[in-house]
């Protein structure tokens, strides 16, 4: 089996390399027989064709079909209008998922901005700045699955009189009169516990973006402010912060999209139990457990609609940028 | 003589400086508290995972991982042996490689050609396609699952690596094109004009000039794609149909979580194994990773 996998990788790498070079070189040469005007018109499609084709086949076309399916019954045969939407929106499971997704969308972006910006700013002022940056940076490469294992382990719960094997509970029970908390089962804490675990994997991204933005602020500007008698806090509040605002928007939108799409960590830590469902886990269950393509399509379309304003914003930003250029 | 005058002049300043640093030290206390607190919150979970993965099962069940520091030497490789062997993680590790390496290469090949076309050629619909790519950057892949799964079942692609490669390629292409397009568009135009003047065909220019000068951007993209695909759960879960013999690390570990409940010595060592390769790639090439991150900051 393992030898098979190794062979597969070697063959795949060889085939992909040969195909890429062959396709472009031979395609280019074949098009050379066209007249100059036609050649100029067609040759760009030789290059962009494969990319446009795979994006169309895996994203655009299925996306349109999903919206289409959302107006049909679970088999995809009878037209039902908005029934799937009204049914899923009146389902308490979806309502809880909507509430939780809302909680994710509020907390994950704001906490990422808070932690990312604070560490980016403060790391330059302490001697062990490299350590804290590395600490935030490392979890970026950790999958949500591994992060889910790590944090389920951190949140482990044992009944009050037993020895606490979970790190979080053993720390809080050091305080007098505090009982251990079943973080992941308790409905008052579990959504925050999941969002916290996601923050742990994402804050490093925010920090990197903020650190880069900070580096682009000229030192002379801050020097001048300090010479004019501004305190560190004033220099931050009236100079650095306004200059960081565009970066705040970038981090906010990125994290909002991540919060809306959240799936892995919920799937691993609770699988949506104890009132922790989010839109993606509801959709996954409709697709695989209920095998209801209509409702799964409706939930996916709701998710898509939630992302749409950010798409529109990105598009406007991009048009603005390319016009300036 | 001159130095002495300078000394005299500097003295009061220096005293002022000492005073202010002392004050800064006191005022710095909350700052150190925040920074050290964050460092601890971010590092302790990793330490706990690492330590627990080497502890014998009965110890993990009965005491917290920090107790093991009191009994040095009470560590074992047994957990890793069990996970690799009995739980089939060794095969999953190779499955992950068999998914990630071709996907990374495919994505770099397809999107570098497309980005070259979009950045360096003039043609109809160029702008429309660019705007389409920007729109697709943050599409939730959930919107594509229902129809793609039907097609997969129809063509009997479920559980095959080829199908998963193609889906990952499609999902990754918008970001990849966007990233490389930005890089190619910033290359000096003379580079291509000179080649064209010499009669080089576009494919020649692409392989002989564009790709070699773009190595940093290609490296950024490849690392991104590698870590991203390695860490993916949803796509593999949906399109590999739950067959254990093709499951990559993420699917296998999440399966272990469901089946092993509190077998923490097993879960922690499995999670460690799933993290090693992306972690090494990431740390070894972090400069490229950061560059890619900054270039594609609007991507979710």
Q: What is the four-CA torsion angle of A48, A52, A55, A59, rounded to 10 degrees?
A: 160
Q: Write the pLDDT tens digit of every residue in B160-181.
A: 999 999 999 999 999 999 999 9
- Find the mean pLDDT for residues A44-58: 95
What does each C-alpha distance from B122 to B117, B126, B207 come to in angstroms? 8, 7, 19
Percent of chain A with pLDDT over 70: 99
Say which range, A191-195, B27-31, B97-101, B162-166, has the weakest mean pLDDT.
Answer: B27-31
Nearest to A9 among B97, B123, B146 (CB): B97
With beta carbons less than 8 A apart as the criterion, state whether A110 and B15 touch.
no
Contacts of B61 in chain A (CB under 8 A): 165
Percent of chain A with pLDDT over 90: 60
Q: Given an 8 Å threshold on Cβ–Cβ distance, is B274 in contact with A209? A: no
DSSP 8-state assignment for residue A307: H
- Cα dihedral B234, B238, B244, B247 sign: negative
**Residue of chain B whose Cα is closest to the Cα of A283:** B142
Nearest to A257 among B131, B138, B167 (CB): B138
Nearest to B134 among A154, A267, A318 (CB): A318
Whether residue B1 has pLDDT greater than 50: no
Whether residue A164 has pLDDT greater than 90: no
B221-235 CB burial, b ≥16 within 10 A, e <16 = bbbbbbbbbbbbbbb
Report the distance separating Cα B47 and Cα B152, nearest Å: 41
Predicted confidence band of residue B2 (pLDDT cuts 50, 70, 90):
very low
Q: How big is the CA angle at A146 (ends B180 and B170), to the nearest 5 degrees?
A: 30
The contacts of residue B288 (CB under 8 Å, 6+ apart) are B216, B219, B220, B223
Would residue A92 be called left, alpha or beta, if left means φ above 0 and alpha means ψ between -120 and 50 degrees? alpha
What is the distance in angstroms between the CA of the first residue and the CA of the last residue of chain B? 65
Interface of B with A in 166-195 (CB under 8 A): 166-167, 169-171, 173-174, 177
Domain spans in chain A, listed from the N-terminal domain onward = 2-69, 83-324
- Who wins on pLDDT, B195 or B153? B153
- pLDDT of amino acid B17: 46
Beta-carbon count within 10 A of B201 CB: 18
Contacts of A12 in chain B (CB under 8 A): 98, 101-102, 105, 165
- pLDDT of amino acid B27: 64
Whether residue A86 has pLDDT greater than 70: yes
- pLDDT of amino acid A296: 92
- Who wins on pLDDT, A324 or A112? A112
Nearest to B121 among A44, A59, A311 (CB): A44
Whether residue A76 has pLDDT greater than 80: no
Nearest to B142 by CA among B167, B176, B169: B167
Whether residue A46 has pLDDT greater than 50: yes
- Find the mean pLDDT for residues B216-239: 92
- Who wins on pLDDT, A189 or B19? A189
For domain A83-324, is the CATH number 1.10.357.10? no
DSSP 8-state assignment for residue A72: B
The contacts of residue A207 (CB under 8 Å, 6+ apart) are A115, A116, A117, A119, A120, A123, A133, A136, A137
Structure tokens at B23: 């004050």
With beta carbons less than 8 A apart as the criterion, state whether B121 and A43 touch.
yes
Residues recorded for chain A: 325
Report the distance separating Cα A63 and Cα B144, nearest Å: 5
Q: Write the pLDDT tens digit of every residue in A113-126.
A: 999 999 999 998 88
Whether residue B268 has pLDDT greater than 60: yes
Report the distance separating Cα A56 and Cα A46, nearest Å: 16
- pLDDT of amino acid A300: 94
With beta carbons less than 8 A apart as the criterion, state whether B132 and A48 touch.
no
Predicted confidence band of residue B3 (pLDDT cuts 50, 70, 90):
very low
Contacts of B181 in chain A (CB under 8 A): none
- Find the mean pLDDT for residues B99-125: 94
Average model confidence (pLDDT) across chain A? 90
Whether residue A153 has pLDDT greater than 50: yes
- Who wins on pLDDT, A321 or B104? B104
Count of pairs with CB atoms under 8 A, one residue in A, one in B: 357
DSSP three-state, residue A71: coil
Contacts of A205 in chain B (CB under 8 A): 293
Q: Given an 8 Å threshold on Cβ–Cβ distance, is B145 in contact with A296? A: yes
Whether residue B10 has pLDDT greater than 50: no
Whether residue A255 has pLDDT greater than 60: yes
ipTM: 0.91
Would residue A163 be called left, alpha or beta, if left means φ above 0 and alpha means ψ between -120 and 50 degrees? beta
């Amino acid at each position: 089996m393992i030898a098979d996998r190794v062979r597969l990788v070697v063959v795949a790498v060889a085939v992909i390399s040969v195909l890429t070079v062959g396709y472009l070189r031979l395609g280019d040469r074949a098009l050379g027989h066209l007249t100059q005007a036609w050649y100029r018109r067609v040759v760009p499609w030789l290059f962009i064709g494969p990319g446009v084709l795979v994006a169309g086949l895996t994203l655009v076309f299925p996306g349109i079909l999903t919206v289409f399916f959302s107006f049909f019954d679970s088999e995809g045969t009878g037209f039902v209008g908005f029934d799937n939407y009204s049914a899923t929106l009146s389902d308490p499971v979806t309502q809880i998922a909507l509430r939780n997704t809302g909680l994710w969308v509020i907390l994950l972006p704001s906490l990422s901005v808070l932690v990312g910006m604070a560490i980016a700013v403060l790391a330059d002022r302490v001697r062990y700045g490299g350590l804290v940056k590395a600490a935030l940076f490392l979890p970026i490469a950790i999958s949500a699955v591994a992060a889910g294992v790590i944090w389920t382990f951190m949140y482990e719960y044992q009944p009050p009189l037993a020895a606490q094997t979970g790190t979080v509970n053993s720390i809080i029970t050091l305080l007098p009169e505090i009982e251990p908390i079943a973080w992941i089962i308790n409905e008052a804490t579990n959504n925050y516990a999941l969002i916290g675990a996601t923050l742990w994997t994402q804050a490093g991204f925010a920090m990197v973006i903020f650190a880069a933005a900070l580096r682009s602020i000229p030192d002379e500007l801050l020097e001048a402010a300090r010479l004019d008698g501004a305190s560190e806090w004033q220099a931050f509040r009236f100079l650095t912060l306004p200059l960081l605002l565009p970066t705040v928007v970038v981090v906010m939108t990125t994290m909002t999209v991540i919060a809306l799409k959240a799936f892995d960590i919920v799937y691993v830590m609770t699988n949506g139990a104890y009132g922790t469902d989010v839109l993606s886990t509801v959709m996954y269950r409709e697709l695989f457990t209920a095998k209801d393509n209509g409702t799964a399509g409706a939930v996916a379309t709701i998710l898509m609609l939630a992302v749409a304003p950010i798409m529109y914003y990105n598009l406007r930003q991009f048009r603005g940028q390319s016009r300036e250029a | 003589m001159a130095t002495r005058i300078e000394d005299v002049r500097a003295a009061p300043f220096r005293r002022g400086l000492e005073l202010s640093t002392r004050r800064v030290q006191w005022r710095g206390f909350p700052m150190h508290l925040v920074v050290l607190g964050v460092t601890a919150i971010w590092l302790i979970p990793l330490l706990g995972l690492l330590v627990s993965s080497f502890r014998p099962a009965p110890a993990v069940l009965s005491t917290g991982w920090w107790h093991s520091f009191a009994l040095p030497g009470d560590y074992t490789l047994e957990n890793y042996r069990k996970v690799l062997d009995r739980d089939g993680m060794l095969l999953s590790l190779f499955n992950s490689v068999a998914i990630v390496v071709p996907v990374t290469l495919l994505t770099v090949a397809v999107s570098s050609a497309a980005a070259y076309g979009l950045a360096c050629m003039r043609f109809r619909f160029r702008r429309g396609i660019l705007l389409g790519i920007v729109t697709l950057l943050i599409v939730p892949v959930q919107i594509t699952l229902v129809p793609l799964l039907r097609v997969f079942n129809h063509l009997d692609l479920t559980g095959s690596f080829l199908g998963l490669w193609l889906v990952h390629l499609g999902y990754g292409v918008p970001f990849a094109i966007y990233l490389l397009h930005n890089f190619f568009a910033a290359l000096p135009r003379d580079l291509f004009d000179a080649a064209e003047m010499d009669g080089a065909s576009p494919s020649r220019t692409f392989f002989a000039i564009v790709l070699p000068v773009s190595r940093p951007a290609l490296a950024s993209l490849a690392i991104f794609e590698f870590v991203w695909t390695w860490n993916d759960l949803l796509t593999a879960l949906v399109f590999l149909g739950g067959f254990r013999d093709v499951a990559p690390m993420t699917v296998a570990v999440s399966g272990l979580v469901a089946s092993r409940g509190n077998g923490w010595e097993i879960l922690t060592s499995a999670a460690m194994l799933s993290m090693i390769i992306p972690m090494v790639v990431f740390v070894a090439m972090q400069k490229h990773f950061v560059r890619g991150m900054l270039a594609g900051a609007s991507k979710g």
